[in-house]
Amino acid sequence: MTNQSMGKVLVIGSNATRIEVRGNKWGATGQYLNETVVPAMALEAAGYEVVLATPNGNKPTIDPASDAAAHFDNDEAAYKAARDYYDNGPAMNAPRTLRSVIDEGLDHYVGVFFPGGQAPVVDLMQDGEVGEILRHFHEAEKPTALLCHGPIALAAATDDPRAFRAALIAGDEAKAREWAQDWTYKGYRMTIFSATEEKVVEDHILHAKMYFDMPQALTAAGGVVETSAVDFEPHVVVDRELITGQNPRSDHPIAKALVAALEARQTA
């Protein structure tokens, strides 16, 4: 980085490598490569310093389903550049723990970004430290961006995120709503990976059914969830400080929206 950094942006990754599916089974999971590196690279290109943090301080596992040029419009050069950035880039190879970032002080960060892949459904959505981080950025009105499955991490800002998630897995949506009565993002417009998009993953990658779909979960929490009419079309929703993208193909649009929000806040 140059000495003229525009500020630090926190990128919060997941440490999950498997996810519960119906039938008391588990499926392999991880973080999507393009959803992680496209926004991170855009932030660095705009002059921001990227700081990666995860619950346990280990680097996230990339979901093999995302490790292909197909997620970069079949551009082999773009895919290789992304892979090199993730494998060798300084920002991707000095992960912090969430706790260390909190203890050092969240005032050091101008924005926060959560990539997707299904992994956040496992750990980030029920992590109390994620909730602590989200509430800081909400109260400070600092840009908060989440992509694909990433917006499920917003559930960490419910009253009891572990209980909220357990209720969803048990199929008790009424109980889930009770645990989210004072949710930080109640009434916010947002998007997330749609139920019909999830079915493609269930059918072709997991070969199993999830316990709940993402719009169902955020709606139960109190969000106003908007998904595109056409699956896998880029779709970004901005409401106040919150910036959400629906699917992997929303990687470049959400990066653009996040950089614009950061610049707007700095010039306000």
User: How much is the pLDDT for 266?
Assistant: 87
Q: Residue 5 pLDDT more than 90?
A: no
Res 107 pLDDT > 70: yes
Is the pTM above the cut of 0.95?
A: yes
- Residue 252 has φ and ψ, to the nearest 5°, of -70, -45
Residue 227: CB atoms within 10 A of its CB come to: 21
Q: What is the mean pLDDT of the chain?
A: 97
Judge whether residue 2 has pLDDT over 60: no
pLDDT tens by residue, 142-199? 999 999 999 999 999 999 999 999 999 999 999 999 999 999 999 999 999 999 999 9
Domain ranges of the chain: 8-267
8-267 homologous superfamily: Class I glutamine amidotransferase (GATase) domain (3.40.50.880)
| Residue 106 Cα distances to 55, 95, 97, 158, angstroms | 15, 16, 13, 20
How far is Cα 8 from Cα 43, in angstroms, rounded to an integer?
A: 9
pLDDT score, position 3: 54
Report the pLDDT averaged over residues 28-33: 97
Instruction: For residue range 6-15, list pLDDT tens digits in order.
Output: 999 999 999 9
Report CA 75 to chain centroid distance, whole Å: 24
Task: Kindly state the percentage of the chain with pLDDT values over 90.
Answer: 97
* pLDDT band (50, 70, 90) for residue 45: very high
CB atoms within 10 A of CB 263: 15
